[in-house]
Amino acid sequence: MSEYEFVFLLNAKEELKTLKALVSSLSGKVLEEKTLGKKNLAYPIKKQTSADFYEWRLQLSKDKLSEFKKTVGFNEKLLRYLLLKSE
């Protein structure tokens, strides 16, 4: 299993449970969670002017990564995300 850094912007805190359930359904783990707080955005994204910033370290197998990206991409409450492989 590989480790990834997942940074994302949410406009609904309830969606955190859904994201954690998604990771566990793909046989992954959330190793570390950081809440970076609510911040104003430089420009509106999906008509939102502020969002909650989060940073997670995930452990996920490579073959499940594309399914994770696809599912996260369809989530309307997730404004933006960045997924990087950790070394």
H/E stretch holding 16 reads helix 15-25
Residue whose entry in the numeric block shows the structure tokens 């950790």: 86
The pLDDT of residue 32 is 94
Distance CA 6, CA 3 (A): 10
Distance CA 69, CA 28 (A): 13
Distance CA 4, CA 32 (A): 11
Distance of CA 69 to CAs 1, 40, 42, Å? 16, 25, 25
Whole-model pTM: value is 0.86
CB 45 within 8 A of CB 77: no
pLDDT interval class at 87 (50, 70, 90): confident
pLDDT tens-digit readout, 21-56: 999 999 889 999 999 999 999 999 989 899 999 999
* Ordered structural domains, the chain, with CATH: 2-85 (3.30.70.60)
CB 46 within 8 A of CB 55: no
